[in-house]
Amino acid sequence: MGRAFVYVILGGGVAAGYAALEFVRRGISHGELCIISEESVAPYERPALSKGFLLPEDPARLPSFHTCVGANEEMLTPKWYRENGIELVLGTKVKSADVTRKTLLTATGETISYKILIIATGARAIKLEEFEVRGSDAENVCYLRNLADASRLVDVMRSCTGGNAVVVGGGYIGMECTAALVKNQIKVTWVFPGKHCMGRLFTPKIALFYEDYYKSMGVNFIKGTVLTSFENDSGRKVTAVVLKDGRRLPADMVVVGIGIRANTGLFEGQLNMDKGGIKVNGRMQTSNSSVYAVGDVAAFPIKLFGNDVRRLEHVDSARKTARHAVAAIMAPRKTGDLDYLPFFYSRVFTLSWQFYGDNVGEVVHFGDLSSGRFGAYWVDQGRIMGAFLESGSRKEYEAIAKAVKLKATVEDMAKLEREGLEFAFQV
Ligand code: FAD
Ligand code: NDP
């Protein structure tokens, strides 16, 4: 049994949706493009899963957050794919790939062949078991990567109203899920190994602002330690977590966000790898010229950082690398190397921040941390390399993005601190 397509997108997440949009914009014929996804729904905006989807009132539900909601583009519902002649093969896992033969074998036994393949397999949540902790498959322990995880998290949350949750991991999932749990009337103890939350991006000063805010919302922090084991009832539920420092925390539920691994497994030994992902050039092309990789799974050169290869785990990068790959496929002569400005953001409670660039060099904070109107610049060798801003307006975010994109020259650090946002507006 087999089918053949000109273009196949492997994976049906954020990058797949944006790649499909770009194919349609540039003009494909019906029946040329196929998307294969393990998930049972058409591509959607994954960031909604830790935000609108978890709201206690009027939560976001599909179809309201299919790609490209929130990105000023049309919304790609299943009908859109039908009308554009795109074959959606959903609920189907690809279990092996052969880039020499240009074929994919699905778990249902079908062979799907392609002329051009775009790998958009994203990533999977790292499990506690990878750190020798057993029992994270209990009914009330939640990870969050896909719609099924989010639906389960909502069910568990609803059964724990008024109870206690332990959130494990001080990164994005920890931060956004803690806020969501609080909004759902659940008391949270947030446990992570670092000295402060979001240790890979936030400075201690920036983290202090958010941690103080979280404390004012009743969140309890336990830092500098990790979970070592679970205590269970006689059934499949966790009743407490035990930490490395010996503390025992009773828990009605646990949320774990301890990072991700890119889904590269199908291509190990077939394509060049880097930074835990599939290595691509500035046109998103892998070491096999018929195969492209985009989104969380792709490690690509960032011009702004001297072509340093990075694997970014954020939605803006998934959207832009996907569209660029399609441009490179369909208009090869007109498409050069992607010139990408890394962009990360988050929204928690009534707070909202954006970051552009790279967090290297010396940090200059500006504004008023106590009022929540503040930001920071990262300055390396006299140039702005990164910029962070809480509660900015669109114009302000555009200004800091421009300062980073142009690597604005800084002559006087004290002046930069005094000028704060004004500096960016003068660039
Ligand atoms: P994904 O969106 O993960 O899609 C991968 C797809 O491939 C999935 O559908 C998966 O099922 C499928 N797949 C994998 N292997 C196979 C296989 N063998 N066969 C078939 N299908 C397969 N980023 C931000 O910048 N801001 C945010 O606010 C933000 N919020 C987030 C909230 C959550 C809860 C999560 C999990 C992520 C968030 N991110 C955010 C990160 C962002 O969503 C990812 O960077 C983005 O989804 C990456 O897109 P992708 O298409 O590469 O991968
Ligand atoms: P992150 O990489 O953001 O954070 C992982 C956290 O877990 C870090 O605090 C890390 O500490 C900690 N950690 C690592 N190992 C252990 C361990 N064994 N026990 C306890 N803690 C540990 O990953 P998340 O899981 O938070 O997020 C998953 C993905 O989802 C990321 O790709 C992220 O970009 C994406 N996402 C993005 C959002 C956004 O952009 N707004 C929102 C939600 C998700 P340390 O740093 O000290 O190693």
Among all ligands shown, which has an atom nearest to the Cα of 47?
A: 1
Tokens 């990262």 -> residue: 378
Let me know whether 254 and 315 are in one domain: no
Residues with Cβ within 8 Å of residue 6, at least 6 apart in sequence: 28, 32, 33, 114, 115, 116
Overall average pLDDT of the 69-95 stretch: 94
Do 186 and 93 belong together in one domain? no
Q: How many angstroms is it from 50 CA to the middle of ligand 2?
A: 13
Mean pLDDT within 75-91:
97
Residue 295 CB–ligand 1 contact under 6 Å: yes
Encoding tokens for residue 360? 């290297």
Segments forming the whole domain that contains residue 249: 128-258
CATH number at residue 172: 3.50.50.60
Share of the chain above pLDDT 70, in %: 100
Residue 387's CB is within 10 A of a number of other CB atoms, namely: 29
pTM: 0.98
Asked if residue 341 belongs to a domain, the reply is no
For the chain, what is the domain count? 3
Q: Hey, which of 44, 50, 119, 121 would you mutate to test ligand 1's pocket, going by the most ligand atoms within 8 Å of its Cβ?
A: 121
Q: Which of 171, 156, 161 is nearest to 254 (CA)?
A: 156
Residue 89 is assigned to a structural domain of this protein:
yes
Dihedral angle sign, alpha carbons of residues 357, 196, 227, 145: negative
Whether residue 1 is predicted with pLDDT greater than 80 in this model: the reply is no
pLDDT of 174 higher than 80:
yes
Query: Which secondary-structure segment (H or E) carries 168?
Result: strand 164-168
In terms of domains, do 269 and 120 share one? yes
269-294 pLDDT, tens digit each: 999 999 999 999 999 999 999 999 99
Q: What is the mean pLDDT of residues 223-246?
A: 94
For residue 265, which atom of ligand 1 is closest to its CA? Answer: 18
What's the chain's average pLDDT?
Answer: 97
Question: Does residue 227 sit in the same domain as residue 285?
Answer: no
DSSP 360-407: -SEEEEEEETTTTEEEEEEEETTEEEEEEEES--HHHHHHHHHHHHTT
The Cβ of residue 102 has, within 10 Å, a number of other Cβ atoms equal to: 18
The average pLDDT across 170-183 equals 98
Any atom of ligand 2 within 6 Å of the Cβ of 342: no
Q: Decide: 19 and 326 in contact? Cβ < 8 Å.
A: yes
- Asked whether residue 138 is assigned to any structural domain, the reply reads yes
* CB 257 less than 6 A from any atom of ligand 2: yes
> Do 388 and 408 share a domain, yes or no?
yes
Domain assignment of residue 342, yes or no: no
Structure token pair of residue 122: 């994203």
Provide ipTM, 2 decimals.
0.99
Residue 340 within any structural domain of the chain: no
